[in-house]
Chains A and B, each alone.
Chain A
Amino acid sequence: MNIAKNMLFKKEIIEPSDELVKETFWQDVFKSLRKDRMAMAGGTIIALFILVAIFAPYLAPYNPYEVSLDLQFQKPSMEYWLGTDMFGRDVLSRIIYGSRISLLIGIVPSLITMLIGIIFGIIAGYFGRKTDFIIMTVSDMVLSFPSLLLAMVVMYTLGASLLNIFIALSIVGWAGTARVVRAQTLSLKNKEFVESARAIGVKPSIIMIRHILPNCIPQLLVLFTLEIPGSILSEASLSFLGVGAQPPASSWGLMVSNGKEFLFNAPWVAISPGIAILVIVLAFNFLGDGLRDALDPYLKQ
C-alpha cells in the first residue's frame, strides 16, 4: 500500500504556476475524465454504492441483524435473493447495510491519513532541518514497518472494533501522504510566489494553507481515491486474521472471511460480499487511474 503510493509520484518534478485558475482546472479535469469510459464507470458505481449506503434502511428487504436459526442457509430464492447465512440473516440486506461500514472503512481512515499526512508533510517540507529530519525519520519507521503487521499489532493492542480499525489504518497510512506532500512543498518553497509572500511578511501558516496546499491538490486527490480501496482491502485482511470489524456491525471483509468456511455448502454467503468488495475496489481504482490521467498535465506541468 505504502510502496505503491510512493511509486506513483516518484519522479515528478513539479513546477506549478500561480495562474492555475480553479474553474478551468476542474473543467479540464472533468472534460478529460468524461472521455475515460472506465473512470466514468468507476465513478458511477461508486455513486451507486453511496446511494445504497445512504438509503440502506429503505432498500434492505430484511433486518440484517435479525437472528433466526430456523432460517439457516436458505438458498438464493425469490424470497431471499442472495440467500441467508448461518444465523438465518438475509445476505442481501447484510451487504446493503455492510456498504455503510465498508465505505466508512474506506473513507474515514483515508481522510485521517490525508489530514495527518498534509500537516506533517507541509511542516516537514516548509521548515526543513531538524523538524524535517524528525518527521521523516518517524515516517520512515512507519513505512518500513510491514503495514499489515503494524495494523495487526495496533488492533491487538486496542482491541477489535470499528473505531480501532480507523485508528490502525490511519497510523499505517499517513506516512506515504506526508512524503508526497513534503516533496511537493520542497519544490514549491523556493518558487517566486512563495518567496514574495514571505518577503511581505505573510505568516508561515498562511503561506502553507494559501499557497502551498492548493498546489498539492491534484496529487492528493489521486492519492485519496487510491487510498480508499487500499483501506477496504486492508480491513478484509485484518478480518481474515481475526481482528477486523466486529459484530453486529458487519463489513464486507468480515462477511467474506466469516463465510469462507461455508464455501462448499453455502457458497452464496461468502461469494456475494466478495464480489461487492471486488466491484467497489475496482471502481475506485479505475476512478483513481482516470483521475491521474486527467490530472496528468497538472501533475507534470
Chain B
Amino acid sequence: MGHYIIRRLVISIPVTFGIALITFILLNVIPGDPVALMMKDHISADVVARVRAQMQLDDPAYIRFFRFIWNALHGDFGVSYKLNRSVSSLLMDAFPNTLILAISGALVSWIIGIPAGVLSAVKKRSFLDNSIMGFSLLGVSIPVFWAGLLFQYIFAFWLGILPVSGFDGPEYLIMPAIVLGWSSAGTISRLTRSSLLEVMRNDYIRTARAKGNLELKVVINHALKNAMLPVVTVMALQVAGLLSGAVITETVFGIPGIGRIAVNAIQNRDMPLLQGAVMFTTVLVILGNLVADVLYSLLDPRIKYD
C-alpha cells in the first residue's frame, strides 16, 4: 500500500510539471502583453517597454519558464502582475473559502443524491423513481450561473431571507452550497442507484426479501452498506472536483476563492498567478484521486494495489 502511494506521488510530479508547461505555452503563443493590459487605454509605448524590461518579460520564453520552475521548486511562485502580492499568499488566503464552499456543496449533493438514489433504486422505473431522478438531474441540467441568479432573485430579492453575495458569515454559504451541490447531486444519485441495484441482485438480499422483510428496511440494513462503497470513494474525487468546479459559483456569489483568482488571472494574462492557481488545484485533484483510491482499497478488501 505504502509503496503504491509513493509510486502514485512520483507519477504526479511529471503531471504537475506538464501542466505548468501547458499553461505556460498556451499563454505565450499569442502576442499579448500583460503590461499593455495593465495600462489599457493609457498605454504609452515607452512605459510599456521600460516596465517589460524591468519585469524581465523580454527574456526568451524558455528562460522565463525555467526561472518559474526553479523558483517554484523553492516554494516561490512569484508575484501577481495585477494584484502585486505573492502568489502563494494569495492562494493560501483564497483556499479556505473555496474548501469550505466545496465541502458544503459536496454535503448538499449527498443529502440530495444519496436518498434520491436509494429511493429510485427501490422503486425502479416507478413514478417516484422518475420524479426523484428527474429532480436530482435537474440540478445537473441547469447552467450554474442561471440557477445561481434565479436563487438570488427568489431567496434574496423576493423573499429576502438570504444574503445575495459575499462571504461574511455562515448564512452566506447557503445559496452557493445548494447551487453547487445540486449541480453534482445527479452524479451521486446515479451512482448510488446503480450500485444499489447491483448489490440487490445478490443472493443475500434475495434471502432477506424472501423472509418477507420490508423493501426499504432490507435496503438500509443490508444493501446500502455495501452499495455505498463506490459512492464513498467518489466523494473524495468529488470534493476535489468541486474545488476546481466552483469557478462560476464563486463569481455569481462573490466568494473570494481560488476559482475567481484563476479566472481573473486568465483575463489579466497574469502568468505567475495563473500558473500558481492551476498547479495548486492540480495537486489537490491528484491528492483527491489518491485518497479515493486508498479509501476504496481500505473499504473493499478484494481490491489490492501492489
Contact = CB atoms under 8 A, between A and B. Distances in A.
B278 A145 contact: yes
A250 interface: no
A156 interface: yes
Interface stretch (B41-49, B89-97, B185-193, B203-211): B185-193
A286 B130 CA distance: 9
B220 interface: no
B51 interface: no
A61 to B, nearest CB: 26
A253 B143 contact: yes
Given A137-B11, A260-B145, A292 B194 contact: yes
Interface in B225-251: 230, 233-234, 237-238, 240-241, 244-245, 247-248, 251
B19 interface: yes
Contact of A137 (B15, B146, B198): B15
A7 B15 contact: no
A153 B247 contact: no
A253 B145 CA distance: 11
B144 interface: yes
B100 to A, nearest CB: 18
Grouping DSSP codes into helix (H, G, I), strand (E, B) and loop, the A interface class, with mixed when no group exceeds half, is: helix
Residue in A4, A38, A157, A253 with the greatest tally of chain B CB atoms within 10 Å: A4
Contacts of A156: 266-267
A157 B31 CA distance: 10
Given A144-B19, A149-B278, A157 B190 contact: no
A296 B141 CA distance: 23
B233 to A, nearest CB: 8
A107 interface: no
A162 interface: no
A241 B263 contact: yes
Interface in B25-57: 26-27, 29-30
Interface string A202-245: 00000000000000000000000000010001001100110000
Contacts, number: 149
A256 interface: yes
Given A7-B234, A274-B143, A146 B11 contact: no
Nearest to A264: B153
B153 A289 contact: no
Contact of A141 (B15, B153, B234): B15
Contacts of B237: 3, 6-7
Interface in A126-174: 137-138, 140-141, 143-149, 152-154, 156-157
Contacts of B289: 144
Contacts of B125: 35-37
A38 B127 CA distance: 10
A300 B198 contact: yes
A101 interface: no
B26 to A, nearest CB: 5
B130 A38 contact: yes
Contacts of B153: 263
Interface in B260-289: 262-263, 266-267, 274, 278, 281-282, 285-286, 289
Contact of B248 (A237, A253, A260, A282): A237
Contacts of A10: 230, 233-234
Max chain B C-beta neighbours (<10 A), residue from A141, A277, A282? A141
A105 B135 CA distance: 25
A22 interface: no
Contacts of A3: 187, 234, 237-238, 240-241
Contact of A38 (B29, B134, B186, B245): B134
Given A4-B187, A37-B125, A241-B263, A157 B27 contact: yes
Nearest to B144: A237
B143 A277 contact: yes
Contacts of B191: 7-8
Given A145-B19, A146-B244, A157-B29, A282 B141 contact: yes
Given A137-B14, A237-B248, A286 B137 contact: yes
Contacts of B143: 233, 236-237, 240, 253, 256-257, 274, 277
- Report the 5 A-B pairs with minimum CB-CB distance, sorted nearest first: A146-B244, A281-B141, A236-B143, A144-B285, A3-B241
Interface of A: 2-4, 6-8, 10-11, 35-38, 137-138, 140-141, 143-149, 152-154, 156-157, 229, 233, 236-237, 240-241, 253, 256-257, 260, 263, 270, 274, 277-278, 281-282, 285-286, 289, 292, 296, 300
13 contacts: A8-B190, A138-B18, A144-B19, A145-B19, A146-B245, A146-B259, A149-B244, A149-B247, A240-B251, A241-B263, A274-B142, A285-B137, A289-B133
Given A36-B125, A241-B251, A277-B141, 10 more contacts: A38-B130, A141-B18, A153-B26, A153-B27, A233-B141, A236-B146, A240-B248, A241-B263, A285-B140, A289-B137
